[in-house]
Amino acid sequence: MGVGQVCVQRRRRTGDTGRTGRNGRTGTIAVVTALGLTAVLGGCGLTGGSDEVTLKLVAADYGDSAANGSQKYWDKLAKAYEAEHPGVSIDVTVYSWNDVDAKVKAMVAAGDAPDLAQIGAYADYAAKDLLYEVDELLSIPVQADFVSQLADAGQVNGVQYGIPFASSTRLLFYNKTLFEKAGLTPPTTWKELAADAEALKAEGVKYPYALPLGPEEAQAETMQWLLSGGGGYTDTNLGTYSIDSTENVATFDWLKNDLVGKGLTGPVAPGELNRADAFSAFAAGDVGMLNGHPSLMHMAERKGVKFGMVPMPGAEGPTKISMGVADWMMAFKQNGHAEQVGEFLDFVYDKDNVLDFSREYDLLPVTNSASRVMTAAKQDADLKPFLQELPLSELYPVGRTSWAAVSADVKRRIGGTVASGGSPAAILGQLQSTATRAESAE
């Protein structure tokens, strides 16, 4: 902790003699000798902005154009907060999702961690004891308002460090015009999905089912299919990775033989097809079916594509567990501004602010209060199917520090499972080995 931070903390507690703090804790009573007090006052000063605290926040960009970039959202929010909290400034830097995790990692490695980071993963930092625990920061009402499975996913060894910031689920999108032309109804099982894809192929549809297993977001498409086959990345009962389970191997055998092998996934090999390209193809009217999240709705609407959305088909019926995704807010301990960080985060997670962000970027709110509003509001009717899926969703195993290595290896290898000559059992076994090694290194 630097001298400036010591001064701020001591001054902040002036007169704070035993009051109960914002989290129900008793404030620390700063006891100094007369000589020590003189030194503090002389070293810090009482004028000239010495009470100012600047919180540095690094955040990801959710915008799809300059007009709705996240920098604008955060600048507006910071300005509103600063107007109510003189003496606290919020310095926000926004990076693209391609860069933000690496930027924060480099800052931490250089000993210059931000006060707050809104990025994709928190577990590595928590494991190194770099983060505040959530109950050291947030007021109890704000903590209680988080959607339960999102809050649970923010835990490492039973302690919450990751604060959910944004979430989404996946549904099967289908092109209504192409389906009507082929006389089809939305599938509820894999067999029906394959039959619909055959009919779409016969009608000349470029991508009957778009299967993006390219490196951009292969871990998401993979997880959705694993869940639909009754498996997943982990065994929820044992709490261990189960990537090469019998169920998972059967799922990718089916994909390889009954979908990809029959030419039902389009002209680009799944291992080379990225999610963004698949979404663009759907918005261009070239895709019959694919898994998608809320932002795809507006991409398709802007291009005039009529679409429907249904739960992901499963081996025997609609998938009972959908895939959920959450992005995370975390607070680093290095600068020691716990009280100011906590007060700012309480503001960030105010119901109206959560609603504003969720509606701006077509994402699901992470709080129950905002979710209730969106579920009932007519203006959010298009998000209701996704909101209904969220309580039934399963998230990546983000609380494991091993997940980053496993996810990276999935992106690198999983496309090979469905390639000509590929072996789902062998590749899933290799991924399991990666997971086992990463777990043992924790």
Dig out the tokens for 442 from the structure: 């924790």
162 domain-assigned: yes
134 domain-assigned: yes
How many CA atoms does the CB half-sphere of 207 hold within 13 Å? 26
Contact 358, 370 (CB under 8 A): yes
- Are residue 369 and residue 252 in the same domain, yes or no? no
As a whole number of Å, the CA-based R_g of the chain is: 24
Q: What is the pLDDT of residue 442?
A: 63
320 domain-assigned: no
Dig out the tokens for 310 from the structure: 């249904």
The three-class DSSP label of residue 26 is: strand
Phi, then psi, of 81 in degrees rounded to 5: -65, -45
**Domain end marker among 51, 69, 92:** 51
Which 8-state DSSP code applies to residue 189?
B
- Are residue 158 and residue 222 in the same domain, yes or no? no
317 domain-assigned: no
- Are residue 190 and residue 82 in the same domain, yes or no? no
- Are residue 286 and residue 435 in the same domain, yes or no? yes
At 72, which CATH number?
3.40.190.10
316 domain-assigned: no
- Are residue 187 and residue 289 in the same domain, yes or no? yes
- Are residue 108 and residue 202 in the same domain, yes or no? no
- Are residue 276 and residue 423 in the same domain, yes or no? yes
Q: What is the pLDDT of residue 283?
A: 96
Q: What is the pLDDT of residue 238?
A: 80
- Are residue 123 and residue 26 in the same domain, yes or no? no
319 domain-assigned: no
- Are residue 158 and residue 209 in the same domain, yes or no? no
360 domain-assigned: yes
318 domain-assigned: no
- Are residue 422 and residue 293 in the same domain, yes or no? yes
Print pLDDT tens along the chain (442 aa).
Answer: 333 333 333 223 233 323 233 343 333 333 333 333 333 333 333 333 446 899 999 999 998 777 889 999 999 999 999 999 999 999 999 999 889 999 999 999 999 999 999 998 899 999 999 999 999 999 999 999 999 989 999 999 899 999 999 999 999 999 999 999 999 999 999 999 999 999 999 999 999 999 999 998 899 999 999 999 999 999 978 889 999 999 999 999 999 999 999 999 999 999 999 999 999 999 999 999 999 999 899 899 999 999 999 999 999 999 988 899 999 999 999 999 999 999 999 999 999 999 999 999 999 999 999 999 999 999 999 999 999 888 888 999 998 989 989 999 999 999 999 999 999 999 999 999 999 999 887 6
- Are residue 177 and residue 56 in the same domain, yes or no? no
Q: Compute the distance between CA of residue 160 and CA of residue 253 in angstroms, rounded to an integer.
A: 38
Q: What is the pLDDT of residue 39?
A: 35
Question: Whole domain around residue 331: which residue ranges?
Answer: 52-168+325-395
When divided into structural domains, the chain yields a total of 3
Q: What is the pLDDT of residue 66?
A: 78
Contact 330, 162 (CB under 8 A): yes
- Are residue 213 and residue 306 in the same domain, yes or no? yes
